[in-house]
């Protein structure tokens, strides 16, 4: 059995220059489609309103056909390119549709987009969304993991999902059957990625089906076994709970001991006189 584990719904990770891993979740294809439909109708209604106002103005002012065509083209450019660009630039990646689904357009590195990104997205959106009624954007979005349309791929952006479900993070308890083992077990430092995956699994395990839960637990237990000695006779998930609890308790004890030592040294350090005594006389 393979010792690697991959979550299909696991959020993307962005590693910063300080080697800190940030979890970024992209909006799903369905959510992006819903947001795009809302924006399509909003900008479409704005276009209809502007075209109606232009025709009324041309009729009242007695303008010729050429000027009427120019007003029509100007209305199209304003509603399909200028307006979406301005909205996303000023709101840092938001629009009415994105507000409704809880998403924001960001750069591939997680930063806020600027005018260039918004303009490229709006310009290609005319082809992807308005000229093909979203068909072209849907095809491209289905072909990549982040549901990016062509405008996103060219601009270097994607739709980041911002609504995080609030839940209490349960404290993993040491299984009673492994209490004696925990007193003498040697649990070495694990890679941060593995520790995060174990923690994520223990929190979300109740949401898996029985077969998937056991498979994930087995894969993670096989990876964690390389850092634990001796190995207890226990189910994979029980073993992972015990390892997590032992690591947490020992890290807490180490931090408490370090704080105690610092508290002991602090009075001695503050009583030492600053500078050197003078040798005069």
Distance CA 278, CA 281 (A): 9
At residue 83, the pLDDT reads 93
Q: Do 191 and 206 contact (CB within 8 A), yes or no?
A: no
Report if pTM > 0.85.
no
At residue 209, the pLDDT reads 87
Tokens of 151: 């405008």
At residue 249, the pLDDT reads 80
- The closest of 14, 11, 98, 82 to 46, measured between CA atoms, is 82
pLDDT(276) > 90: no
Instruction: Indicate the average pLDDT of the chain.
Output: 81
pLDDT band at 64; cut points 50, 70, 90: confident
pLDDT(106) > 50: yes
pLDDT band at 23; cut points 50, 70, 90: low
Give residue 24's region: left, alpha or beta (phi > 0; psi -120 to 50): beta
Distant-in-sequence contacts of 106-110, Cβ < 8 A, 24+ apart: 106/157, 106/158, 106/159, 106/160, 107/156, 107/157, 108/156, 108/157, 108/158, 109/14, 110/14, 110/22, 110/24, 110/160
At residue 89, the pLDDT reads 94
Least confident of 30-34, 63-67, 190-194, 242-246: 63-67
Could you report the per-residue pLDDT of 130-147, keeping only the tens digit for each?
A: 888 889 999 999 998 889
Could you report the per-residue pLDDT of 226-260, keeping only the tens digit for each?
A: 998 888 888 988 888 888 888 888 777 777 877 77
Mean of pLDDT values over 52-66: 80
pLDDT band at 10; cut points 50, 70, 90: very low
- The closest of 151, 64, 66, 165 to 116, measured between CA atoms, is 151
Could you report the per-residue pLDDT of 163-210, keeping only the tens digit for each?
A: 765 555 566 777 888 888 888 888 888 888 888 898 888 888 887 888
Distance CA 262, CA 37 (A): 59
pLDDT(16) > 50: no
At residue 5, the pLDDT reads 35
At residue 189, the pLDDT reads 84
- Prior bond of 230 cis (ω within 30°): yes
């Amino acid at each position: 059995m393979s010792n690697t584990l991959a979550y299909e719904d696991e959020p993307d990770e962005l590693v910063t220059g300080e080697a800190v891993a940030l979890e970024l979740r992209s909006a799903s294809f369905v959510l992006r489609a819903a947001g795009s439909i809302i924006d399509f109708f909003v900008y479409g209604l704005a276009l209809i309103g502007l075209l109606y106002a232009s025709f009324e103005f041309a009729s009242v002012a007695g303008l010729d056909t050429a000027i009427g065509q120019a007003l029509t083209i100007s209305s199209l450019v304003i509603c399909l390119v200028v307006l979406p660009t301005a909205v996303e630039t000023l709101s840092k990646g938001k629009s009415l549709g994105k507000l409704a689904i809880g998403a924001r357009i960001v750069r591939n590195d997680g930063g806020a987009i600027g005018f260039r990104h918004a303009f490229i997205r709006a310009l290609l959106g005319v082809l992807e969304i308005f000229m093909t009624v979203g068909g072209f954007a849907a095809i491209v979005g289905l072909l990549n993991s982040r549901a990016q349309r062509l405008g996103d791929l060219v601009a270097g952006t994607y739709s980041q999902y911002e609504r995080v479900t609030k839940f209490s993070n349960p404290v993993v308890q040491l299984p009673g059957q492994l209490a004696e083992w925990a007193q003498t077990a040697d649990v070495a430092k694990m890679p941060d990625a593995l520790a995060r995956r174990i923690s994520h699994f223990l929190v979300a395990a109740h949401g898996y089906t029985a077969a998937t839960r056991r498979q994930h637990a087995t894969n993670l237990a096989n990876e964690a076994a390389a850092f634990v000695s001796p190995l207890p006779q226990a189910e994979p998930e029980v073993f992972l709970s015990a390892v997590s609890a032992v690591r947490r308790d020992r890290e807490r004890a180490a931090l408490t001991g370090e704080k105690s030592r610092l508290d002991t040294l602090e009075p001695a350090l503050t009583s030492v006189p600053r500078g050197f005594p003078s040798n005069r006389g």
